Amino acid sequence: MIEHVRNATTSLVVDCSSGVPVVLHWGRPVDSVSPSPMRPAPPGTIDVLAPISVVPMHGDGFPGRPGLSGHRRGGRVWAPRFSYESHRRDTVADGERLVVRGIDHVAELALTTTIVLTHGGAFVASALVENRGDSPYMLDAFSLSVPLPEGASELGVFSGRWSDEFRFERFAWPRGAWTAENRLGRTSHEHPPFVFASESRADEWSGDVWGLHLAWSGNHVTYAERLTDDRRYVQMGELFHPGEICVYPGESFTTPDLVGVHSSSGLNAASWQFHREARRRLPRDLGPRPVHLNTWEAVYFDHREDRLAALADVAASLGIERFVLDDGWFGSRRSSSSGLGDWIVSTDVYPNGLTPLIDHVRSRGMEFGIWVEPEMANPDSDLLRAHPEWILATEGYEPVLGREQVVIDLTRADVFEHVAERLDALLRDHDIAYVKWDMNRWLVQGSGADGRSAAHEQTLATYRLLDWLRARHPEVEFEACASGGGRIDFGVITRVERFWTSDNNDALERQRIQRGASMVIPPEVMGAHVGPSPSHSAGRRHSMNFRVITSMFGHMGVEADVTTMSNDELDELRAGIDAYKTWRRLLHHGDTVRFDTDSTMVVHGVYAANRREALISVAQVDSPDSLRPTTVRLPGLIDDCVYTVTSLLGRSIGMARLSGRDLATIGLPVPVQWPDRAVLVHLSGS
């Protein structure tokens, strides 16, 4: 009952005989489909060496963390053990699929595990547990596990906080367990659910790398364990609050997808597989990504129509293609303390409604976008004065405030209907092409009407709300923003066309943030804005050139008061926007590449799929180690192709013609730059 699923780059060998699939091999292509030789049970243990199955069971003797944990009333049947019922292999639109069914007649549970090896190379797994008994089954944990070879000796994880997202850290895989748990109700800035395992020698261009991601926008746990016998695995799943999930008789519960990628040639190639999977999940094929102007750091809550019209006029003259009106257009929302939840255009600042401003923006050749935060409300709002019971909180306790706001309970039908109707009217009655969907507050002690945690159901309700609005307004694009990078995952990406990567628009910080984010999401969905100088988040002053080059390697936008910029700044910004438009097809359809350099530089770019063209950014982020020009090696191009190297923006490096072999071996010559400077280089092969 061994199945070998393969594509051009990957073999997946799975043993289905126990009813719970066991991954025998996932990685480089292999010929053999035989099971690995049985290891003897280590001395001092039980007589069986339980395999690391996709859903490992304590009842099988597995010594690590069980994938399925639960019980019936009184704590009964708390350690199930499944046996084989059936399995099938078939071809689906996205790749090759295995479906394995196990049954436990004692626990009266059935387990169905689905694994797909996609055409793009990704491993996608999910599991469903079904209650076949006549009493409820309380589900404490339900996670998916993937064993990794002993050569995967390092872990790479992301950490961060608001305005400081996607910090990537690598370390030796320790004995015992490394874990990260998120209870904040959104994907999180602090512990986004991505993890890499790799050989110790792996870098951006070489070595075996495995990446795993939980495609879920709520609470989650990541668990990486190295057992005493040196076997190792990564386990990821939704994190449940106590008593949150109960599977009633005849019902079932399904995990989020676990997405895995493997590369035998370093982190870059692993990223390309993540990018292909992200693109596969997008709700539509994306055309050229229009340049944004977002009003937030330009005007904040100062929504004077004449000021916004002037902002639109200058934006249009720069070649900006979409004007996004941020927070402050509705209700009593003149500051962050009131009006949130009242999704009605404020007559105080827009006495004639939004239509005159929208018409002005549209007359300048730009689309119009708008900001909302539908999951939240201020206590000082008409909504909560009329319906204080709509707060997602726990009865008997004062709700914990965050950013002077609370979460509203979208799991209630009346709340969902109210919010849906308000947003539907907003989109129906106005010419709006784009919605920036924010979520600025953690879920804390959020209970539903039955008193149980509603974190899981609130996430599903948010999905349903997005799905409902998209069905009624299929032409509108949506952005997932949660205080910046707090909701970036492959669960919500099926519902949005863009992520707001970070609230931090400081170009120096963005060099690192965007490099980390590029490991898992493709550039066309990664919002990247030219911010003001000095930066509102870090106080630094940066040249327009540095800000422009930084923002080009994503979905480019501007978030600054362009009406106060000098003519020289406007000219540089216009040139940068023109360059983005010229090269955005390459930027968004090629392969993102990162290069290993010393810590004073950040070098990254994009290679065309045929490897005959490239754009490279060389950013100096600290004082150089040497006062003479250096070189940066660019692997992965065509050895015998001769490339014309041209400086597009920044300090000129001079015209050169270099072969792909020389670029990989000797490197690209780059000038000495002061810190916080960058040069944009184009390579054209012949």
Catalytic residues: 438, 503
CB atoms within 10 A of CB 334: 15
Q: Which two tokens stand for residue 657?
A: 């013609």
Q: Rounded CA gap, 406 and 514, in Å?
A: 30
Q: With residue 358 as reference, give the H or E element that holds it.
A: helix 355-363
- State how far the Cα of 346 lies from the Cα of 363, in Å rounded to an integer: 23
| Phi, psi torsion values for 154, nearest 5 degrees | -125, 150
Answer for the pair 62, 50: CB distance below 8 angstroms, yes or no: yes
Q: What is the β-pairing status of strands 656-659 and 668-670? A: unpaired
Q: In what order do the strands lie in the sheet with 613-620?
A: 591-594, 601-607, 613-620, 677-685, 642-649, 656-659
Give the Cβ contact number of residue 43 at 10 Å. Answer: 5
CB proximity list for 27: less than 8 A, separation 6 or greater: 10, 11, 149, 208, 210, 262, 264
Number of neighbouring beta carbons within 10 Å of residue 179: 13
Structural contact between residues 679 and 618, judged by C-beta atoms closer than 8 angstroms: yes
- Judging by DSSP bridges, how do beta strands 642-649 and 656-659 pair with one another? antiparallel
3-class DSSP state for residue 236? strand
Query: Which helix (DSSP H) or strand (DSSP E) does residue 462 occupy?
Result: helix 455-472
CA distances from 119 to 151, 194, 272, 371, 412 (A): 26, 21, 13, 36, 40
Distance CA 73, CA 251 (A): 16
Provide the 8-state DSSP code for 453.
Answer: B
- The residues with which 11 forms a beta bridge, in sequence order, are 6, 27
Query: Are the beta carbons of 501 and 484 closer than 8 angstroms?
Result: yes
Whole-angstrom Cα distance, residue 38 to residue 367?
63
Map tokens 């996609």 to a residue. Answer: 118
Which of 558, 616, 99 lies closest to 317, judged by CA? Answer: 558
113 closest CA partner among 123, 100, 124, 122: 100
Distances (CA, A) of 334 to 340, 348, 599, 642: 10, 10, 43, 58
Is 14 within 8 Å of 53 (Cβ atoms)? no
Token pair, residue 156, equals 């790479």
